[in-house]
């Protein structure tokens, strides 16, 4: 994993050395509560705190009543609406898969869980656009004939904690990577999917909260010209949620927000970002942009300390420590059976590594070989 393709730009070691980030993380862990569910045992919390929202979009127009499936698919295709949490997968294809599923009971889960330590814009949307989100979720449920629509988030605003007849509110632990589809499904619906299962084919449609708002906006005839992102200064942890236009220069936006700095980064978040090039602009897959003085540097040749932290935090149940031990002894033919095929590439193992190694990269190489 190189910085060019997207690598972790902050890790546990850096946070512990940075007083500002350490305080933000401590406060966020207090706010969201302790890790509780068996599979996720990390204490990453958040390393940024939002100071403001710049350039918020106006209230959404309400989509017309009685919209049908054909219209929904046509609009999603025409406006090229994609997932907004980083994958950029076309929403119309995802919805078609959901429609074709033959399950008797179908679920929609609106993903507002945004667990990535460097992101806060989905949380901001849940807090400030809650009524629009609930209305859009109910509308999507009606159009797609879902048996149950759930909004999953770490927190809901003020008194708005009651589920309605249309929409169930599900408070989830603020743990990374709670936003990963299968982990969220397990948490919210109590259903365990296998590595090879595709959720829509099982009648479960997971849609990011911002994607939902874009669908609603498009159905109301409004243009899809940008997205919300988190912009932050990783030296101080100060962040702004900002509505950016597609095609807008990332570097200019960062300089405008934080002044000239040493490093400019963009990508999915602090767990996967790359250097910003002068010509880079915001796209639907850009969730995050940041400035920082120093990025995390990991070295796979460092000697493993055998602490086991990597295995402990792995949400997929990969026996990371054992993989690393075999890899470092060049016993590569003895690596099968440690659950490598289950790796979801979250980077948690590298985030906590006591030796500043990059176990994610090592596991990723074997994972890629297994997947062919």
Q: Which of residues 331-350 bind ligand SF4 (CB under 6 A)?
A: 343-349
Q: How many residues are recorded in the chain?
A: 372
C-alpha gyration radius of the chain: 20
Which of 20, 308, 341, 365 is in the footprint of ligand SF4 by CB under 6 A? 308
- Cα(115)–Cα(175) distance, rounded to whole angstroms? 6
Q: C-beta of 365: minimal distance to ligand SF4 in Å?
A: 11
Q: With respect to ligand SF4, which residue has the nearer C-beta, 123 or 180?
A: 180
Q: With respect to ligand SF4, which residue has the nearer C-beta, 60 or 175?
A: 175
Tokens, residue 309: 């932290």
- Cα(338)–Cα(286) distance, rounded to whole angstroms? 33
Q: With respect to ligand SF4, which residue has the nearer C-beta, 107 or 351?
A: 351
Q: With respect to ligand SF4, which residue has the nearer C-beta, 60 or 323?
A: 323
Among the candidate windows 23-31, 90-98, 150-158, 313-321, which touches ligand SF4 by CB under 6 A?
313-321
Q: C-beta of 368: minimal distance to ligand SF4 in Å?
A: 12
Which of 61, 69, 307, 368 is in the footprint of ligand SF4 by CB under 6 A? 307
Q: C-beta of 224: minimal distance to ligand SF4 in Å?
A: 32
Distances (CA, A) of 363 to 46, 256, 321: 25, 39, 10
Site size for ligand SF4 (CB under 6 A): 28
- Cα(60)–Cα(128) distance, rounded to whole angstroms? 12
> Is 208 near ligand SF4 (CB under 6 A)?
no
- Cα(257)–Cα(274) distance, rounded to whole angstroms? 19
Which of 316, 326, 327, 335 is in the footprint of ligand SF4 by CB under 6 A? 316
Handedness of CA 127, 182, 88, 351 (dihedral sign): positive
User: Under 8 Å CB-to-CB from 179, ≥6 apart: which residues?
Assistant: 85, 111, 113, 114, 115, 116
SS3 category, 333: helix
**What are φ and ψ of residue 71, in 5° steps?**
-65, -40
Which of 94, 129, 309, 326 is in the footprint of ligand SF4 by CB under 6 A? 309
Please name the residue that has the structure tokens 């070989």: 369
Query: One symbol per residue from 248 to 287: x for binding ligand SF4 (CB under 6 A), - otherwise; what is it?
Result: ----------------------------------------
Q: C-beta of 80: minimal distance to ligand SF4 in Å?
A: 30
> Is 327 near ligand SF4 (CB under 6 A)?
no
Q: What is the DSSP letter of 95?
A: H
Closest alpha carbon to 298 in 262, 271, 325, 327:
271
Q: Checking DSSP bridges between strand 272-275 and strand 238-245, what pairing results, if any?
A: unpaired
> Is 363 near ligand SF4 (CB under 6 A)?
yes
CB 81 within 8 A of CB 224: yes
Which of 321, 335, 338, 366 is in the footprint of ligand SF4 by CB under 6 A? 321
Q: With respect to ligand SF4, which residue has the nearer C-beta, 255 or 325?
A: 325
Cα of 217 vs its chain's centroid, Å: 22
The angle at the Cα of 131, spanning 125 to 133, to the nearest 5 degrees, equals 55
Which of 277, 306, 336, 369 is in the footprint of ligand SF4 by CB under 6 A? 306
Measured torsion, CA atoms of residues 47, 232, 207, 201, in degrees rounded to the nearest 10: -70
Q: C-beta of 321: minimal distance to ligand SF4 in Å?
A: 4
> Is 24 near ligand SF4 (CB under 6 A)?
no
Q: C-beta of 314: minimal distance to ligand SF4 in Å?
A: 3
Q: With respect to ligand SF4, which residue has the nearer C-beta, 276 or 318?
A: 318
**What are φ and ψ of residue 97, in 5° steps?**
-60, -40
> Is 326 near ligand SF4 (CB under 6 A)?
no
Q: C-beta of 268: minimal distance to ligand SF4 in Å?
A: 14
> Is 178 near ligand SF4 (CB under 6 A)?
no
**Contact set with ligand SF4 (CB under 6 A):** 304-310, 314, 316, 318, 320-321, 324, 343-349, 352-355, 357, 359-360, 363
């Amino acid at each position: 994993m190189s910085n060019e393709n997207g690598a972790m730009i902050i890790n546990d070691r850096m946070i512990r050395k940075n007083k500002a980030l350490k305080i933000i993380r401590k406060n966020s862990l207090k706010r969201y509560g302790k890790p509780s569910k068996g599979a996720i045992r990390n204490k990453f919390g958040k390393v940024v705190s939002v100071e403001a929202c710049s350039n918020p979009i106006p209230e959404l127009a309400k989509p017309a009543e009685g919209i049908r499936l054909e219209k929904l698919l046509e609009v999603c295709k025409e406006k090229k609406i994609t997932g907004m949490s980083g994958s950029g997968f076309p929403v119309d294809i995802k919805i078609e898969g959901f429609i074709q599923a033959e399950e008797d009971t179908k679920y929609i889960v609106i993903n507002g869980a945004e667990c990535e330590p460097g992101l806060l814009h989905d949380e901001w949307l849940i807090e400030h656009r809650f009524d629009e989100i609930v209305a859009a979720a109910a509308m999507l449920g009606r159009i797609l004939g879902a048996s149950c629509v759930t909004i999953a988030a770490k927190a809901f605003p003020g008194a708005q904690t009651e589920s309605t007849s249309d929409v169930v509110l599900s408070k989830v632990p603020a743990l990374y990577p709670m936003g990963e589809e299968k982990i969220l499904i397990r948490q919210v619906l109590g259903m365990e999917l296998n590595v090879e299962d595709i959720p829509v084919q099982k009648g479960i449609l997971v849609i990011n909260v911002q994607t939902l708002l874009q669908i609603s906006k498009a159905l109301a005839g409004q243009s899809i010209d940008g997205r919300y992102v988190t912009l932050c200064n990783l030296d101080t942890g100060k962040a702004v949620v900002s509505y950016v236009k597609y095609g807008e220069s990332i570097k200019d936006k960062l300089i405008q927000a934080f002044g000239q700095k040493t490093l400019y980064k963009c990508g999915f978040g602090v767990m996967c970002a790359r250097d910003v090039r002068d010509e880079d602009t915001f796209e639907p897959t850009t969730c995050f942009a940041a400035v920082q003085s120093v990025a995390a540097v990991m070295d796979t040749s460092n000697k493993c300390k055998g602490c086991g932290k990597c295995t402990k935090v792995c949400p997929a149940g990969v026996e990371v420590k054992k993989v690393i031990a075999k890899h470092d002894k060049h016993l590569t033919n003895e690596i099968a059976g440690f659950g490598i095929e289950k790796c979801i590439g979250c980077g948690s193992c590298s985030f906590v590594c006591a030796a500043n190694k990059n176990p994610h990269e090592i596991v990723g190489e074997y994972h890629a070989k297994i997947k062919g």
